[in-house]
Amino acid sequence: MAGIEFDHAQRVWLLSTQTTSYGIRLTPHDRLVNIYWGPRIHLADAVHVVFTVAPSRIRTAETGGDGVEELPVEGELRYGQPSLSVRFGDQVRGIEWTFQGAETRREGNRSELELRFADRTYPLEVTLHYRVYEDGDIIERWTELRHTASASEDGAPETAEPIDVLQAHSASWAIPFRDDYRISHLHGHWGGETQLSRVPLAPASTFAIGSRTGITSHHANPWFAVDDGTAGEEHGEVWSGALAWSGSWRFHAQRFANGRASVSGGFGQDGFRVWKLHAGEIFETPVFAGVYSAAGFGAASRAWHTYQLRHIVPKAKQLRPVLYNSWEATFFDINEENQTQLAELAAEMGVELFVMDDGWFGQRINDRAGLGDWVTNPDRFPKGLAPLISAVHDRGMQFGIWVEPEMVNPDSDLYRDHPDWVYHFPTRKRSESRNQLVLNLGRPDVAEWMYEWLHDLLANNAIDYVKWDMNRPFSEPGWPEEADNPERLWIDHVRNLYSVLDRLRRAHPGVAIESCAGGGGRVDFGILARTDMVWTSDNTDGFDRLKIQEGFTQVYAPRVMSAWVTDSPDHINKRRSSLRWRFHSAMAGLLGIGGDLTKWTDAERTEAKELIAQYKRIRPVVQHGLLYRLRPPSAGDLSAVEYVHRDGSEVVVIAWQHSQQFGTVKPPLRLRGLDPLGRYRNPDTGEVWTGALLQNHGVPLVLRGDFDSCLIHLVRELDR
């Protein structure tokens, strides 16, 4: 059974999940080090490790703790990148800590461990938190800092002065010793998010990734995976981690001179103080979760997906409806009449959720004005939103609406009334992006204003879904009114965002929320704990999406991956592709449609209706099943994914042929995750295959020409 065990004599804790174990030890000098992370072992095995591992030799500029400490602090003989760095009131930096105690508790299917340390001289307490679950292999870690001086002492002793927190990572993950190391990460840009990269981690080097934008960002994502350079999709050892934070963040992967490697990470960014910790204050970092896989990157992904569906995403068991979004059909030229017309066409095709995008409020006739004035435009909707919402509901669909609460146009009533509500420095210009400025959500009055108008919008209208957008990163990150600690905005913006979302979900539990940030600019476990899905990318080209989705699913589940079918040629590459190809690309996640339905032919709408019906039949498998990436888009001119229902009853395979040369025919596609003795029927053809044949020989693919695709649905026959 999963849980936490302790050996008092050797001060060893063993955290065990379903199939893995994680061992840590408190040394005689009160340094907390990792001694094991891998397949499941017994506590006696972990204790045995203490006696069999030779102590590291300490040389100049090295320490025996390099690459193994659970949270390397600045101070003493440490020369690597610290995970925790503070400066006290007398300008002394670094920490000398002593162990104060441990507490283990169990609640339901999870177990938690707290290890408390305190500085020898200054009023700082550091608590390391660990949590494991019985129903998975994820280990959650985070750190808590406490200024232990009393806040009522009015600064009488010098030790009651604030403590500058210069860096506060959530955790450092020690990677077991291997001959070599390779790190996988996600990079990209607007329209090309979550591009997968695997690079060697060079000896005696530091590999850093992160975001300085105030949001998770398009160009990097807070996830990593480390292997020895030989792991593949379904073989080899992989150690992986992901941070639950939606603001600026950073990871440092280090390979030390002693051959060890570690990855440390948390919120914040270089060049900025993270926090000023006042007497009596507690400061908590976000969760940094980790997982070990003995069966490659695919198994690690499936562990992450399972974790999200069971412990992160709200109402994850619910099937997400097929969505239509009107943005690319009308852009800012929006009104009750054309939205009703689009809703009629969408309903005829089988769409279940109609979403009206930007342009319904204020003087929002383009992207230069009106943002921040969240009142329905009376010229476009003379009787408010109610008639359109009723028309949508009458056609059997849910109604959704687009908002961008964290932004404001300078040309708006809100900005004219509250120019102090945006991030700014008094002596610097206010840089606009997309004609927008960023509201200072760190301010309590801005956060309250935001909650109130959103609450009123949902309370006064029968809205079922909100698309929450955020189209630009921070600039001029000043908070003139906060003289004591203006840099707290990097933390408080995200915390208040979370608070507003949490309050809205409590007040309106039936409303679903999608996170969007100019595409995939805010995708992480922190935002996923408060939203039902995320917008993967503004790039809806079916071919480009295959690579974006390959990287996305390394850590994030198909159940949260919004994907649209839009018009051909697409607006990014002007690439032409068939409607079926575009549908099959989007059916690999949460199916949505975003084209101008008024320009689709009768034949296209009929084909779309059939494909939507097909998706509804397979979506329990796609949204909740186990994903196998059979062939990545970079593997040649064929890519394919497979979904297996968690009870083994159904299988869905989607394959895309990028190009065909010299009339060649693709070989059978070998499947994974099946019962070799099971029999699987294709309802469309009546063919029956054994699991052994499907896995060892493969299923034939009928693909012809460039940009052709196919979907195969197999149902397991009941054993006789």
Query: Distance (Å, rounded) from C-alpha 332 to C-alpha 328?
Result: 9
- What does residue 309 show for φ and ψ, rounded to 5 degrees? -70, -25
* Three-class secondary structure of residue 160 per DSSP: helix
Query: Distance (Å, rounded) from C-alpha 94 to C-alpha 75?
Result: 4
* Three-class secondary structure of residue 33 per DSSP: strand
- What does residue 652 show for φ and ψ, rounded to 5 degrees? -125, 130
Q: Is residue 42 part of a domain?
A: no
Question: What is the reported pLDDT for 57?
Answer: 56
Instruction: Provide the residue type at 394 as one letter.
Output: D
Query: Distance (Å, rounded) from C-alpha 676 to C-alpha 655?
Result: 22
Which residues, in sequence order, are CB contacts of 332 under 8 Å at separation 6+?
358, 359, 364, 365, 366, 367
Query: Distance (Å, rounded) from C-alpha 408 to C-alpha 414?
Result: 7
Query: Distance (Å, rounded) from C-alpha 140 to C-alpha 144?
Result: 14
- The average pLDDT across 457-463 equals 98
Q: Is residue 19 part of a domain?
A: no
Residue 556 belongs to domain with CATH number: 3.20.20.70
- Cα 476 versus chain centre, distance: 26
686 and 574 in one domain? Answer: no
Across 279-372, the runs of DSSP E, i.e. the strands, are 282-284, 288-293, 323-325, 353-356
Question: What is the reported pLDDT for 79?
Answer: 86
- The average pLDDT across 183-195 equals 98
Report the DSSP pairing between strands 171-175 and 261-267: antiparallel
658 and 572 in one domain? Answer: no
Q: Which two tokens stand for residue 507?
A: 């007040």
Residue 265 belongs to domain with CATH number: 2.70.98.60
Residue at which a domain ends, from 265, 289, 312: 312
In this prediction, residue 152 has a pLDDT band, given cuts at 50, 70 and 90, of low
Question: What is the reported pLDDT for 53?
Answer: 67
Is pLDDT of 155 > 60? no
- The average pLDDT across 295-307 equals 98
DSSP structure class, residue 286: P
Query: Distance (Å, rounded) from C-alpha 126 to C-alpha 146?
Result: 7
318-330 pLDDT tens trace: 999 999 999 999 9
Q: What are the Cα distances from residue 454, in Å, to 373, 458, 504?
A: 12, 6, 8
Query: Distance (Å, rounded) from C-alpha 448 to C-alpha 445?
Result: 5
Question: What is the reported pLDDT for 150?
Answer: 84
Percent of residues, the chain, with pLDDT higher than 70: 97
Q: Does residue 7 carry a catalytic annotation?
A: no
> Taken in order 456, 356, 221, 230, is the CA torsion positive or negative?
positive
Q: Is residue 105 part of a domain?
A: yes
Q: Which two tokens stand for residue 363?
A: 């003087």
Which residues, in sequence order, are CB contacts of 194 under 8 Å at separation 6+?
186, 188, 221, 520, 523, 536, 537, 548, 549, 551, 552, 554
* Three-class secondary structure of residue 249 per DSSP: strand
Q: Is residue 416 part of a domain?
A: yes
361 and 283 in one domain? Answer: no
Residue at which a domain ends, from 624, 656, 675: 624
Find the catalytic residue in 469, 492, 532, 544.
Answer: 469
159 and 241 in one domain? Answer: yes
Q: Which domain holds residue 651?
A: 631-716
- What does residue 540 show for φ and ψ, rounded to 5 degrees? -105, 10
**Residue 530: exposure state from Cβ atoms within 10 A (0-12, 13-18, ≥19):** buried
Q: Is residue 32 part of a domain?
A: no
Region of 56 please: left (phi>0), alpha (psi -120 to 50) or beta: beta
User: Are 166 and 263 a contacting pair, CB within 8 Å?
Assistant: no
User: Closest by alpha carbon to 38, among 415, 294, 392?
Assistant: 294
107-150 pLDDT tens trace: 999 999 999 999 999 999 999 999 999 999 999 999 999 999 98
Q: Is residue 40 part of a domain?
A: no
223 and 333 in one domain? Answer: no
349 and 279 in one domain? Answer: no
Residue at which a domain ends, from 624, 649, 667: 624
In this prediction, residue 60 has a pLDDT band, given cuts at 50, 70 and 90, of low
Q: How many degrees, rounded to 5, is the angle at CA 711 between CA 710 and CA 716?
A: 145
Query: Distance (Å, rounded) from C-alpha 499 to C-alpha 186?
Result: 28
Query: How many structural domains does the chain have?
Result: 3
592 and 654 in one domain? Answer: no
Question: What is the reported pLDDT for 162?
Answer: 96
Q: Is residue 37 part of a domain?
A: no
- The average pLDDT across 520-538 equals 98
263-286 pLDDT tens trace: 999 999 887 889 999 999 999 999
205 and 143 in one domain? Answer: yes
Q: Does residue 411 carry a catalytic annotation?
A: no
Find the catalytic residue in 538, 541, 544, 567.
Answer: 538
The helix or strand, by DSSP H or E, that contains position 506, with its residue range, turns out to be helix 489-507
Which residues, in sequence order, are CB contacts of 409 under 8 Å at separation 6+?
367, 368, 369, 370, 371, 372, 415, 435, 436, 437
* Three-class secondary structure of residue 520 per DSSP: strand
349 and 288 in one domain? Answer: no
Instruction: Provide the residue type at 231 as one letter.
Output: A
> Taken in order 331, 335, 339, 341, is the CA torsion positive or negative?
negative
* Three-class secondary structure of residue 43 per DSSP: helix
Q: Look up tokens 């796609």; give the residue.
A: 622
Question: What is the reported pLDDT for 634?
Answer: 86
- Cα 260 versus chain centre, distance: 28
Residue 669 belongs to domain with CATH number: 2.60.40.1180
Q: Is residue 70 part of a domain?
A: no
In this prediction, residue 664 has a pLDDT band, given cuts at 50, 70 and 90, of confident
pTM over 0.95: yes
76-107 pLDDT tens trace: 888 889 999 999 999 999 999 999 999 999 99
Query: Distance (Å, rounded) from C-alpha 674 to C-alpha 677?
Result: 9
Which residues, in sequence order, are CB contacts of 636 under 8 Å at separation 6+?
658
> Taken in order 152, 155, 157, 162, is the CA torsion positive or negative?
positive
606 and 497 in one domain? Answer: yes
433 and 574 in one domain? Answer: yes
- The average pLDDT across 425-441 equals 97
Report the DSSP pairing between strands 139-147 and 124-133: antiparallel
In this prediction, residue 663 has a pLDDT band, given cuts at 50, 70 and 90, of confident
Is pLDDT of 157 > 50? no
709 and 603 in one domain? Answer: no
Report the chain's mean pLDDT, rounded to a whole number. 95
Question: What is the reported pLDDT for 273?
Answer: 87
